[in-house]
Structure 1
């Protein structure tokens, strides 16, 4: 056997480990994008993938002859299956009823093939190293490859390549391992010309997919949206889609509608004005979330406000709403105002480090559909925000639908009360979302409904405020638990309640 074989195959361990974890991350991310941004998706994908790898490892004992040849064939198959997986899932999401069968079928197949790789490599190398050295070297390269994948996936691959291109790229790398072994060890491999040709054809096919990945992505996403997609980008945190029909713009994050330009004013006026109108001396405002600048637009209608700090995790989001002409028209260039300071940071971490206080705080995070967002609805987070609120200040929290998800809504209310805040729940109707809820919170129970509102509003008025403060029986208060970091009951409530209408 050629003396170069150990070095080449140890390099192969590194490559296949990196590719294997990338496929797993792609599947989990795709499941979150397409089926809902939920910890359940990632958890079940990882579980199925690891179980399938175990099946692959068990099956490896039945490969007894021509191990190098089998290894090459498996690399080609892994590259093809892994490379086209995201394309298949995107294209077929809207067209087949049993999408989860396809998803978990691809995850299982990929996991089984990946599970075969390392055992076969160890058997190929078993006569070249002592057992302890073999195990040490193989698993060292395996774990280093896994570490590299976990770092570059969110920081480099998703923001700059996207899911489809990333899948094709690592498919190419997998098949390139097969080709590398073919080229270097022709004498040791039966039917090497056939395998070499298969590797080259597979690489060319995957390369073609890589080149046309953007068109594939645009076409597949167009099947999922009724309107024309005019902007799409994957950031380190989410998939941003902007659609247009006539004059109406709609923003989607990970497939979930965030606003529609024809009625977003109802949401944002209700979010801001009931609280800020009651604070005639408000000077300093904090907005957490709200990277679209639409809440900022409403706050800038008050000349007494001197400083607005906006904290949003995703720079890709805030940059879009600072540069896109259509969006600048919608948010009235609010994020470019000299009064506004935009900070791209994790809200929880940022808030813990602050000593400044604010007269009015807007908490406008996405719905608590997963634990990473759910932590921003916990008593721990609200305790931190409470310290940032001036004694006579008001905080308002968007709190999902009290009609569709009453337990979720009233959990937010109870969690705010649990940290010693006085609350004023209210709601309004937004056509794109239905009945939507908000909760004002303050250190003192002083809130009085304003007698009048500023004149340039389309929806909020003294009369509409009367309706917003009234809760009929089907939205009446429910008994719930406090949402804590160690239980995150709100995520469970939210998933259960919204699952019944989706």
Structure 2
């Protein structure tokens, strides 16, 4: 006997609302894995491809496996959502733990992608079975039911996809976001089954469903309460005991370590960007060769820590310096933190300095459009092998730099280590030359800490590059030879032939 029309409508609404919530939670799990893979492993394009392709494959497997549960669709769906809530909610915790205490999270990432994909893939066949049990009116055909389910699924995915970067991540962080999503997932799945199909379940099935969901919610609630302690333990395992500042800005995680017996160290998204041990060698080598010649107007791209700015201001004759930095949080830390301000010589307090926040590519394009010209452009940017940085090492980007340089202007570029990653280094050279620059390669030695393309562990794990590689470049004329500055030496290796330039359409770094 078909249920009354009123109950049919209410039941259909609850099923579609559950589809909406489960789809939103599922996409949050996917985006969480992609974000963690990019942060913990590096190379966001490859990691996103691995996570999404594995999950889509696993969803197909889950759909096939769900056929065995259709005869017990109600209890099967309830337990399935409890399992998905537990696995998806705890995924961030486990991935952080494997990275911090094992040093490798790739296998855990693939395992979670498979498990979550299988569980998500099994949802839709079971939901289809459940909604067919409710909608038995003749006018509701199978095609209309499928359309309603997929519409709710797609809209839920849209909401989850927007909520993760704009609400969950900035407000709650990665750990709490995953745990809260898991709790919502468990409540939605359990409530649907108990409210609509509780009478169809045996006493054992009802107790199994209630106890399972309560246990999952208890685990997630406990993990949420302990999340701050866990996060501090992870930071100590990764960065050591000297963590003094740890903040999540709108752009990245910023960690500052210092204290007795150790130098000031600044980590951005897990990558060591500044070490008080040897940063002076890097920044002097980057800036000083480019300052030989006219340098009244200087543009610094990146370098929000103020250390390249410090070296620029040490040269006499500087009239104005514009710093373009993506993350205002880094600049604020460099202005206010006592250790960093001592290291950068209170550079941001100089009245000649103007700070512009935003993407270096977009801001440089605006400067060119406004007719601004500079004598020196200093690119103190993340390593070119990091996917997010590749556009700032492209032929199009260097074309904009060429238009921003005045007569006799020079460009200084950090191009990654010359010895350990020669292909990346010389690809920067090929790209500069394709944009009309004449280049002078050089490197700085005496390196004591690493600027890796992937996450660096402060305990010293992993190989450490032995040098920094740079290019001094000028459009249509030869730049001066780099001077001998604190270990700087000209490159003596021959320039490899046949390397193609990197462009926005075809980035070459990391190949």
Give the TM-score normalised by structure 2.
Answer: 0.87
- Match for 1:202 among 213, 216, 228? 216
Q: Which moved more, 1:316-325 or 1:85-94?
A: 316-325
Matched residues in 1 for 2:401 and 2:503: separation? 15
* Residues 343 and 144 of structure 1, relative CA distance in 2, 3 Å threshold: farther
Q: Please state if 1:126 is matched with 2:137.
A: no
The equivalent of 2:258 in structure 1 is: 244
Q: Please state if 1:141 is matched with 2:156.
A: no
Q: Please state if 1:468 is matched with 2:488.
A: yes
Matches within 5 A, 1:158-237: 158-185=169-196, 186-190=198-202, 191-237=205-251
* Residues 401 and 104 of structure 1, relative CA distance in 2, 3 Å threshold: same
Given that 1:154 and 1:236 are in contact with CA atoms closer than 8 Å, whether structure 2 keeps it comes out as: no
Two-structure CA RMSD over aligned residues (Å): 2.2
Residues 149-201 of structure 1 deviation map (CA, whole Å, 9 limit, x = unaligned): 22232233222222111110111111111232255233243332442233233
Q: SS state of the match for residue 495, structure 2?
A: coil
* Residues 370 and 448 of structure 1, relative CA distance in 2, 3 Å threshold: closer
Q: SS state of the match for residue 252, structure 1?
A: strand
* Residues 255 and 8 of structure 1, relative CA distance in 2, 3 Å threshold: same
* Residues 156 and 284 of structure 1, relative CA distance in 2, 3 Å threshold: farther
Residues 16-43 of structure 1 deviation map (CA, whole Å, 9 limit, x = unaligned): 1111111111112222222223421121
Q: Please state if 1:387 is matched with 2:398.
A: no
Matches within 5 A, 1:371-450: 371-429=387-445, 430-433=447-450, 434-449=466-481
Q: Please state if 1:260 is matched with 2:275.
A: yes
Residues 329-384 of structure 1 deviation map (CA, whole Å, 9 limit, x = unaligned): 22223234332222221222222222212111111111123443111111111111
Per-residue deviation, 1:392? 1.5
Q: Which moved more, 1:330-339 or 1:41-50?
A: 330-339
Given that 1:38 and 1:369 are in contact with CA atoms closer than 8 Å, whether structure 2 keeps it comes out as: no
Aligned pair count reads 476
Q: Please state if 1:341 is matched with 2:354.
A: yes
Given that 2:298 and 2:322 are in contact with CA atoms closer than 8 Å, whether structure 1 keeps it comes out as: yes
The equivalent of 1:62 in structure 2 is: 68
The equivalent of 1:275 in structure 2 is: 290
Q: Which moved more, 1:376-385 or 1:129-138?
A: 129-138
Per-residue deviation, 1:51? 0.9
Q: Please state if 1:326 is matched with 2:344.
A: no
Matched residues in 1 for 2:337 and 2:101: separation? 33
Residues 45-92 of structure 1 deviation map (CA, whole Å, 9 limit, x = unaligned): 111111111111121112122312111111110000111111112112
Q: Which moved more, 1:241-250 or 1:283-292?
A: 241-250
The equivalent of 2:496 in structure 1 is: 478
- Match for 2:34 among 28, 33, 50? 28
Give the TM-score normalised by structure 1.
Answer: 0.89
The equivalent of 2:460 in structure 1 is: none
Given that 2:284 and 2:485 are in contact with CA atoms closer than 8 Å, whether structure 1 keeps it comes out as: no
Structure 1: where are the runs of 5+ without partners? 451-461, 493-502
Matched residues in 1 for 2:346 and 2:84: separation? 48
Q: SS state of the match for residue 160, structure 2?
A: helix
Matched residues in 2 for 1:322 and 1:97: separation? 33
The equivalent of 1:496 in structure 2 is: none
Structure 2: where are the runs of 5+ without partners? 451-465
- Match for 2:508 among 462, 469, 489? 489
Per-residue deviation, 1:96? 4.3
* Residues 322 and 182 of structure 1, relative CA distance in 2, 3 Å threshold: farther
* Residues 357 and 150 of structure 1, relative CA distance in 2, 3 Å threshold: farther
Given that 2:300 and 2:379 are in contact with CA atoms closer than 8 Å, whether structure 1 keeps it comes out as: yes
Residues 192-227 of structure 1 deviation map (CA, whole Å, 9 limit, x = unaligned): 244223323322321221222122122123222345
Matched residues in 2 for 1:375 and 1:318: separation? 22
The equivalent of 1:45 in structure 2 is: 51
